[in-house]
Amino acid sequence: MTVLTQSRKPRFAAETMTPYTFITPAILVILGGLLYPVFMAFYLSFYDWEIGRDLAKAPFMGVDNFVRMVQDPQVWEVLWVTLRFGFWTITIEMTLGVALALLLEKPIRGASFFRTIFILPLMVSPVVVGLIWRYLFDARIGWINYYLGAFFGIEPQVWLGDADLAFFAIVFTDIWQWTPFIFIIVIAGLQALPSEVVEASTIDGANWYQQVFLVKLPMIKSILVIALLMRLIDVFRGLEVMLIMTGGGPGRATELLSLHIYNRAFDTQQLGYASAISVLLILIVFAISTAILTMANPMKSKSDV
C-alpha cells in the first residue's frame, strides 16, 4: 500500500490537493466553531472587557481574573452545586436508564410502544422543558401541588422558592429529560450483544442477575462509558432549564457553573472574568473526560464483541 503510493509520483499538484479540498470544510468548521472560541476564551480571560468596548482598548489584567476566581466563594459555591447536581442526576439516570433498558430489552408485547413513549422527553427542546416544569412546579397553579394535595393531602410547597426543593426540582427535571438518552443507548447496546454469548451463560447456569451483572453489562461497558461521558459534559454545559425554571435561585441553590458564567458575562458584563471561569470549566471537563477514558477506553475494546 505505502509502496504503491510512494512509487507513483503525482503528475499534477491539483491531484495531490484533491483529498485536502474534501477535508477543508471540516477543518474550517472545527477551527472556526471549536478552536477559535476556546482560544478567545483563553485570550479574554486575561483582559477586562465588556460588550460595546473595543477589545483592543480593554485593559490587560494578567492573571488577576484567575486569582480573583480562586478566591471567589461564589465560584466554589456554584461548583459544589454543579458537582452535587451531576452526582444525583447521573447516578439516578444511569441506574434508571439501564434498568428500563433491561426490562424492555425482550420483545414483549407493547415494548416498541413503551420505547417510543420513553424517548419522547428527548425530543423536547430544553427551553420548552424548562417552561413546562416551571409551570408544573408552580406553587399556586402547578399540577404537582394540586395532585400532591388531592391524592396525598400534602400541603402546597413553594417548589422553586425553597433552596432544597428547587434543587430537587431541577434534578427531577433533568432525570425526566435525560434518562431516555441512557435508555436508548443502552438498549441499542443490549440488542447488539451476540445472542449466543447470552445463551452460553444460561447454559453455564447464570441466573438473571448474574447474567446482567457478570455478562451483559460488562460487555456493553464501552457504551456505558460513552453515555456517562456525554452526560457529564452535558452537566457542565447545560443551563437553559435552570435559567428558565429558577434563574439559578433561590440564592445560588440551582446555579450551575455554566449558568454562573452566563450570568457573569451577560448580566454583570464581566466578560473577562466570565472567560476565566470558562477556562476553569474547560479544564474540569477535560480532566474528567481524560480520567474516564484512561480508566475505560471505549476505542480500545471495540474488538471485544
Partner 1 sequence: MSGVSLQNVTKSYGSLTVIPDLSLDIAEGEFVVFVGPSGCGKSTTLRMIAGLEKVSGGQIFIGGRDVTWERPKSRDIAMVFQSYALYPHMNVADNMSFALRLAGTPKSEINERVRRAADMLELTDYLHRKPRDLSGGQRQRVAMGRSIVRDAYCFLFDEPLSNLDAKLRASMRTELALLHKQLERTMVYVTHDQIEAMTMADRIVIMKDGVIQQVGTPKDVYNTPVNTFVATFIGSPSMTLLPGELSEQSGSMRIHGSGFELPIPDRLKSRAGASPTKAVTMGMRPEHFAAEARTEAFAPVNLEVKVAEYIGSSQFLAANLGGQDVTAAVEVGPEADLLGDGQYYFDTSRLYLFDRETGQAL
Where do contacts with partner 1 occur on this chain (CB under 8 A)?
194, 196-197, 199-206, 210, 214-215, 218-219, 221, 301, 303-305
* 149/218 with CB nearer partner 1: 218
CA atoms of 123 and 212, how far apart (whole Å) = 29
CA atoms of 29 and 251, how far apart (whole Å) = 39
Q: For residues 35, 46, 230 and 236, what is the CA-based torsion angle, rounded to 10 degrees?
A: -150
Q: Minimum distance from CB of 295 to partner 1 (Å)?
A: 15
Tracing cell 453515555 back to the chain, one arrives at 227
Closest of 282, 91, 267, 78 to residue 167, by C-alpha = 78
Q: Minimum distance from CB of 225 to partner 1 (Å)?
A: 13
* 119/217 with CB nearer partner 1: 217
Going from the C-alpha of 77 to that of each of 40, 73, 239, 254, the distances in angstroms are 26, 6, 16, 10
Helix (H, G, I), strand (E, B) or coil at 275: helix
Closest of 216, 243, 230, 215 to residue 289, by C-alpha = 230
Q: Minimum distance from CB of 105 to partner 1 (Å)?
A: 17
CA atoms of 42 and 34, how far apart (whole Å) = 13
CA atoms of 201 and 187, how far apart (whole Å) = 19
CA 303 to chain centre: 27
* 25/205 with CB nearer partner 1: 205
Q: Minimum distance from CB of 260 to partner 1 (Å)?
A: 41
Q: Minimum distance from CB of 96 to partner 1 (Å)?
A: 24
> Is residue 8 within a helix (H) or strand (E), and if so which, with residue range?
none
Tell me how long the chain is: 305
* 219/261 with CB nearer partner 1: 219
Q: Minimum distance from CB of 198 to partner 1 (Å)?
A: 8
Q: Minimum distance from CB of 100 to partner 1 (Å)?
A: 23
Going from the C-alpha of 184 to that of each of 1, 93, 190, the distances in angstroms are 40, 12, 10
* 190/276 with CB nearer partner 1: 190
What stretches of 10-137 show up as alpha helix (H) in DSSP?
13-30, 36-44, 64-71, 73-103, 111-119, 126-136
* 51/203 with CB nearer partner 1: 203
DSSP letter at 32 equals I
Q: Minimum distance from CB of 221 to partner 1 (Å)?
A: 7
CA atoms of 205 and 287, how far apart (whole Å) = 41
* 107/205 with CB nearer partner 1: 205
* 218/251 with CB nearer partner 1: 218
